[in-house]
Structure 1
């Protein structure tokens, strides 16, 4: 008796189901690998025509001021959220709907997911993948590892990636001996690393860095950095 042949919709369904299973398995193992191994390169680095200078430094070696500075600048509830700041997302959505200037709603976890596994730029498809990878890293990594990867793959200058390479570029020494102002200036550069400079900051960047130094004191005096 001849074997029954699946219909075209049936074959499409089976193919899609297998593809999804393979995607879930590969991405799970990929994220799990980076729990223990530094990401060797990222899509952003590959696509950067200015090069990708970087020098990995563990969170334990890095001056604590750097992690405190990015919490003060980027994600005040980093230690307590599950990967997403829902109030910030809501505010960003309301600003988008009203046509006002849009502020970023991404947490350090979301930025780490984007920087380590995806590419820059917008679009709902990339944002959906970012959400998926954020859930994975929050599940498979601890907060110190998320911070460590973030501080090593974030763009800190033209052709420069990571806080350690940024410290060497701007201040002539590595990130193990950062002052609060130096860490704050690197954090101030992160939103626009191709147009801001930590050594010769513009007036806005300099003022912002000075405000971050004050916020860093508040972070240290609170539980906001206890997870590190």
Structure 2
């Protein structure tokens, strides 16, 4: 008996099965649908991955700058090391109902829709969870598609993250100027102080520059920006009730 032949038969390895055969064997339209579904599901997976406080999320805008080899300044800072006056200034400027809604201010959205249908849309309607979702997972620019994707992401992230975690992420990924990401980088760039040492005036100027950080320079405000900052500064002094969900 030829033992070598017998041993070869005993250790013969069955042909490797193509693990992607189930995918490759599907029609093109089904493969395309699966790819799109996976792409749409990815942000929801990331929402859960970003829940732990020690994870430092990266936004699509940061990835854009990295791909384009643009310089970027990003310095993550914990929520406890951000001046409360900056938090109050951002809240009264961007989302006064932050502590009271579940990611979307539906009353504001209804008024926005009514204004849009009348051709008189002058308000943004975006809450801080909506802006956080846009910055993390989507893109800039107004479009119905982006807003449609933004709403469920804002609601889901508000369910998974605490209000405190939401605000920490938002303030650390917001773009305060070309390549300037996060409040720590912004505070040091514009006012040469850490985020924990911002004054009420500096905080107000940074808050009002957020909607258009490329044209509004916090350290060099024009007359209109100074007036708007003064309004936000006054409102922030009386905003303790608006931030209780963040410090209780």
TM-score, normalised with respect to structure 2:
0.79
Contact 2:47 2:160 in 1 (8 A): yes
Give the aligned partner of residue 59 of structure 1.
79
Question: Which of 67, 78, 94 matches 2:98?
Answer: 78
Question: Which of 223, 227, 232 matches 1:212?
Answer: 232
Give the aligned partner of residue 195 of structure 2.
175
User: 1:141 Cα deviation (Å)?
Assistant: 0.4
Give the aligned partner of residue 59 of structure 2.
42
CA distance in 1, matches of 2:28, 2:159: 31
Question: How do residues 111-130 of structure 1 correspond to structure 2 at under 5 angstroms?
Answer: 111-130=131-150
Matched residue count:
216
CA distance in 2, matches of 1:13, 1:182: 53
CA distance in 2, matches of 1:73, 1:151: 13
Contact 2:104 2:155 in 1 (8 A): no
- Of 49-58 and 161-170, the range deviating more from structure 2: 49-58
Give the aligned partner of residue 27 of structure 1.
43
Give the aligned partner of residue 3 of structure 1.
none
Unaligned runs of 5+ in 1: 1-9
1:48-95 deviation digits (Å, cap 9, x = unpaired):
466331111110111111111111101111001011111211222222
Find the residue that maps to 2:176 and give its secondary structure.
strand
Contact 2:204 2:232 in 1 (8 A): yes
CA distance in 2, matches of 1:175, 1:99: 40
Contact 2:112 2:121 in 1 (8 A): no
CA distance in 2, matches of 1:135, 1:51: 33
Give the aligned partner of residue 164 of structure 2.
144
Find the residue that maps to 1:227 and give its secondary structure.
helix
Give the aligned partner of residue 226 of structure 1.
244
Give the aligned partner of residue 133 of structure 1.
153
Give the aligned partner of residue 107 of structure 2.
87
Contact 1:45 1:51 in 2 (8 A): no
Question: How do residues 154-165 of structure 1 correspond to structure 2 at under 5 angstroms?
Answer: 154-165=174-185
Given the superposition, is the C-alpha separation of residues 47 and 63 from structure 1 closer, same or farther in structure 2, using an over 3 Å criterion?
same
TM-score, normalised with respect to structure 1:
0.86
Find the residue that maps to 1:121 and give its secondary structure.
coil
User: 1:162 Cα deviation (Å)?
Assistant: 1.1
CA RMSD in angstroms, aligned pairs only: 2.2
Contact 1:51 1:160 in 2 (8 A): no
Contact 1:52 1:160 in 2 (8 A): yes
Give the aligned partner of residue 116 of structure 2.
96
Give the aligned partner of residue 18 of structure 2.
none
